[in-house]
Structures are given as C-alpha cells and as structure tokens.
Structure 1
Amino acid sequence: MNRNGLMKHAHDWITRLGSQARVADRCGISTAALSLWLGGKYGADTASLDKKIAKALGYKESDWVTVENVKNFKTVKFVFDQCKEISMWMAISSNAGSGKTRSLEHIFNTDLSGSIVLIQAEEWAAHQFLERLHGKLTSTPLKGYMTNNELLDKVIALLNEMDGHPILVIDEADKLKPSALRQLIPIYNRTEEHLGCVLAGTENLQKEIKAGVRKRLKGYDEIDSRLGRSYITLDGATEKDVYTICEANGVTSETSKLTVWSEIEKVEKFVRVRTTQGEREVKVLHCEDFRRLRRLITREKLLNKTSGK
C-alpha cells in the first residue's frame, strides 16, 4: 500500500471533518495513535493500522487520472453543482460504464468542505439503507435496535446539522429496494431548501421509477416529482475526449491513440454545434463504455512500456 498516498488521504479527511479527533473516531482508533501514525512515529508494524484507516476512510489506490474537461465529467459536475448550490434534487440515469461512479468519487475526493455525503447503494431495504446512511453521517454507533422511523429521525437531524450547502449523493441508486427509495420522500420533505441530492444509476433508475408511476405503486409518483420528472443521460466521449483521456493516462503516441479510438465501440449521436449560419445538429461518434476504454488504454500503455516507446 502506498502510505504516502494514504497519509495525504487522511490529511484531506482531517480538513474535511475539522480535526484529527473526528478522523480517529471515524477510524475507530485513538487520537494519539492517529497522531503518531501521521508523524511516522507509530512504533508497531503499521500494516494492519494502514488497512484499518484505508477501509474507514475509503482509500483506493489507482494510477488512473480522471479528466475534468471531457463531456461526461462536465455533465456530472454540472448536475452536482446545481444540486449543491441551490439544494435541488436531480437524477443521472445512464448506461453502465459511462463514468458516473468515477466522476462522483473524484468530485468527493477533491472536495474538502465536509458538505458531501457519498454512499454507494446496494440492494438494501429501508432499514439497511438508513443504517448505512447513518454510518456515513456520524462515527457514533447506533445503540440497540431502532425502528425505521427512529432511524429516519436521526438521519434527518444529522443532515440538517450539516453546514455549507450539504449534498447527499447516492450512487447506484437503482439497486435500492422500493422501501428504501420511499425513505427519500420524508428526507426531501424535512430537509427542503437545505439539502441537495444526486441520485445516480443505470438506465434502470429512470425505467423503474417511471414504471412505478404508471402502475401507481406507492411512493413512485412522489419520488418522480421530487426529481423534477426528468433524468440526465450521459452522451459518452467524442474522439477528442478519448485522445485527451489517453494523454492524461500516459498514452501519448498518435498511433496508440488512434488504435484505442478505432477499437472502441462507438455510436452516432446528434450534437448541436454553432456555425457561421447559426446552430445546427450534426452526427458525432461517441464512445459510451468507459470501462472498455480504460482497458484499451491500459493495454496500450503496457505495450508501449514493453516495446520501449
């Protein structure tokens, strides 16, 4: 494990939470232990402590560079900024591999305000969802069993205590079970004009909510209404975007960049462009699968390394 990277990550969390004590509390260790670890003076073997801190603070090692000036990232950042600044609720519903998760994680990791709550959803029912959300909001463990309503009250109180335009980001929101999704209704109602929220998921997020509205299932019309009844999709990466991503991640030769672009699957999409005669729509090729793009770039990087390019 890259201890320098982990220590920088820990320092970012200290800035985010405001003190070493709060970070230590989150990691389940003493403030003294964290202070010694940060100063390189922790006497024992630090491997187990490194792992404990990394897990508690969500540290992930990666040499992949997220590029901020490409189309998909700009769209995700625009949605995030709108929701945060004016306490809006919006949803991004786009195909798997479109870069939603990596973009949201990058935004979270580079923001040190402490005003972002990022949770990676799983197939949780209401109680599981509220427990996990509570754990993201505070390091104080729950005492004994609580009903859904009791948990909801605690979560909403913690959200309302947050300063600086707080925002809740729920990634893979399409995995949540209906009972968990319905918890968003009282959260919205009781944090309105204070809390922004971004729901992100595959195209199933929009499909399932719209299907719930058509079938008049409990809560779905209210959820759809709170999201403005509209869903943001991500177009993908243009050829220029792909070349920019290649260069940022160490693939700089024109041959390698062209290889990546020629092998990646592409779809045509209409894009509005400005001309001397005004605006018009033109067809532009887009790559939609960023996971596949990353694999191709990694392959080219390794090939260039082994060939000495």
Structure 2
Amino acid sequence: MQQKEKQKIVDLLAIYIKNKGSQNKAAHSLKGVSPAVISHLMNGNWEPYTDDMFRKIGNQIGYNSQNWQFVNTSNAAFLLETLDKVKKQQSVVTILAIAGSGKSEITKKYASENADVIRIECASYWDEKRFLQEILLKMGIRNPHNRIPQMMEEIINGIQNYDTPPELIFDEVDKLGDRLMYFLITFYNELKWKCSIVLLSTYYFKKRLEDGFRNRRKGYEELLSRFGTFIEFEQTSAADVGLMCEGQGVQEKSIIKIIQKKSNGDLRIAAELIRIYKLENGI
C-alpha cells in the first residue's frame, strides 16, 4: 500500500474520531482495532502496522482504494436532507427504494460524517444475539453481556445517555426475520422521542408489513403502526447515471450513453460498467 493511501485513511480516521467524540469511542466501534492502534496511527507511528490493518480500518470508515467519488444524485441529496431532518426531530420513518438505488452508500457517507449516528447493515443470517451485538459494537460498547435481556437494557440505557439524541439507521431491514423484527417494536416503545429511528429497505418490506397485518400475523399490526410512515425514492434518472460517470472520470458522451442504457437506472450495474471501462482504458 502506498504511503499516500495510508495518509488518506489516517485523514478519514481523524474525521471519524471527531464524529465519535474520542479515540476510545472510535476504536470501540471498529472491529479488530484497539485504542492503542488508533493512538499510534494518529501520532504518526505507522511502522508496526501492516497494510492489512490499514485496509481493515479503511473499509470500516468509508475509504475506497479505487478512488470512487461520491456523487450527489437527486436521491442522494434527498436522503441526506431527510436523515438530517429526521435526526433533529427524533422521528421514525421507513425509506423505500428499489435495489441499486444507492441508499446504502448514501447512509454510509452520512454515518461517517455525522456524530451520534448508529448505522446497522442487517443480514439474513443473524440471530438475536448477533443482531444486538452489532448494535452494541456500533455504539462503541465492547464485551457486552451475553444474555439478551441485559444486552437490550445496555442498548436502551446507552442510547438514553448520549449527550444529544442519536440516530439509529437500520439498512436492509427487510433481511431480518420475524423474531428480530420484534426487537424494533421494543426500540420504538423505549426510545420514542429520545432518538430517531430510520429503516431502509426495498419495496418488499412495505408489502411484507401490509400482508402481515392483513393476515393477522403476530406483531405486524404493531410494526405497521410504528414504522408505516413510508418515504419513497424517485426512480434513478439517466442524468443521475451521467453524474456518476462524470464523477468517476468517464467523460466521453458515447460511453456515458451506453452505460445509461445498459444500467437502466441501477447504480450498482452502472458502477460495475464504469469500473470495467476504467480498467480497460487505464483511467
């Protein structure tokens, strides 16, 4: 790894520490990174640490080795503004968007640049303990209790002890099974007007809640009542795909048109097409 890459990671780490409030809090929110490592890196003592350690930190704080530039698409501007507004109001909302709309990258950027934001990227294989452990880790709490009731209490008490109301962001919440969804009801009941809660999902989540409510499935009436304030993304436009191309250094109009057509509004596909084009053309 080049020294300039390491410097970029350390520069991002400095911003991350500022948003977390301290070096200790920053270290506790990162997997496999101790407070001593953070202290050494910030003091310029890089020699003891391998490239893998820099990559491990960089991957968790938003560094992109491919120099991928964040592009302020119409949906990005909308979501960043919405997240800021919801945080200030301590509101509860559900953001819906099609796959490939860029919502995850937008929330990663928001979480990396704003203090008191707890962003959880959900996974379908999690059980109850893994779900709660992930939240505690993102809160900077290591070695939590190993029993679910105590873990829940630690999360609730920890959030209530923030100096300013934090924002809980659950990305890809539609991946959670029913047993984990019930935890969201408890978070709402215990933390209403004490923090903001944002769920992000594809449109499947809305259908899931409405079908569960209609079929009188356990907990779904409560889930729909609490998280049924839906805010929807606009369809990604060809102009937004063009902005992404230009942001990554692709300027040729004919190539941009091809990427716009092939991606059909899916920014994930557009990003892959841009990556391949840049590799083939040495950009």
Q: 1:175: Cα distance to partner?
A: 0.7
Match of 1:17 in 2: 20
Cα distance per residue 1:143-168 (max 9 Å; x no partner) = 4x31x322211111111112333110
Cα distance per residue 1:268-289 (max 9 Å; x no partner) = xxxxxxxxxxxxxxxxxxx2x1
Match of 2:230 in 1: 231
TM-score when normalising by structure 1: 0.80
Cα distance per residue 1:109-168 (max 9 Å; x no partner) = 222x2x10001101233333122212211233124x31x322211111111112333110
- Answer yes or no: is 1:66 the counterpart of 2:70: yes
Paired with 1:301 and 1:99, the residues of 2 have a C-alpha distance of 20
Which protein has the bigger helix share?
Answer: 2
Q: 1:35: Cα distance to partner?
A: 2.8
Paired with 2:246 and 2:61, the residues of 1 have a C-alpha distance of 30
Instruction: Confirm or deny: 8 A CA contact 2:122 2:176 kept in the other structure.
Output: yes
Instruction: Confirm or deny: 8 A CA contact 2:121 2:171 kept in the other structure.
Output: yes
Cα distance, 1:98–1:57 mapped onto 2, change above 3 Å = closer
Cα distance, 1:42–1:235 mapped onto 2, change above 3 Å = closer
Paired with 2:50 and 2:203, the residues of 1 have a C-alpha distance of 43
Runs of 5+ consecutive residues of structure 2 not aligned to the other structure: none
Paired with 1:247 and 1:58, the residues of 2 have a C-alpha distance of 21
Match of 1:212 in 2: 212
RMSD of aligned C-alpha atoms? Answer: 2.4
Cα distance, 1:137–1:210 mapped onto 2, change above 3 Å = same
Cα distance per residue 1:72-105 (max 9 Å; x no partner) = 2133224312321211111122221111111111
Match of 2:243 in 1: 244
Match of 1:118 in 2: 119
Paired with 1:45 and 1:131, the residues of 2 have a C-alpha distance of 27
Task: Please give the secondary structure, in 2, of the residue aligned with 1:216.
Answer: coil
Paired with 2:277 and 2:51, the residues of 1 have a C-alpha distance of 33
Match of 2:43 in 1: 39
Instruction: Confirm or deny: 8 A CA contact 2:263 2:270 kept in the other structure.
Output: yes
Instruction: Name which of structure 1's ranges 246-255 and 56-65 shifts more when overlaid on structure 2.
Output: 56-65
- Answer yes or no: is 1:77 the counterpart of 2:77: no
Instruction: Confirm or deny: 8 A CA contact 2:16 2:113 kept in the other structure.
Output: no
Instruction: Confirm or deny: 8 A CA contact 1:26 1:56 kept in the other structure.
Output: no
Which of 290, 296, 307 is the aligned partner of 2:267? 290
Paired with 1:60 and 1:254, the residues of 2 have a C-alpha distance of 26
Instruction: Confirm or deny: 8 A CA contact 2:13 2:61 kept in the other structure.
Output: yes
Q: 1:40: Cα distance to partner?
A: 2.8
Cα distance, 1:169–1:24 mapped onto 2, change above 3 Å = closer
Task: Please give the secondary structure, in 2, of the residue aligned with 1:169.
Answer: strand
Identity of aligned residues (%): 26
TM-score when normalising by structure 2: 0.87
Which protein has the bigger strand share?
Answer: 1
Paired with 1:251 and 1:18, the residues of 2 have a C-alpha distance of 38
For these two proteins, the number of residue pairs brought into alignment is 278
If asked which structure has higher relative contact order (CA below 8 Å, sep 6+), I would say 2
Task: Please give the secondary structure, in 2, of the residue aligned with 1:182.
Answer: helix
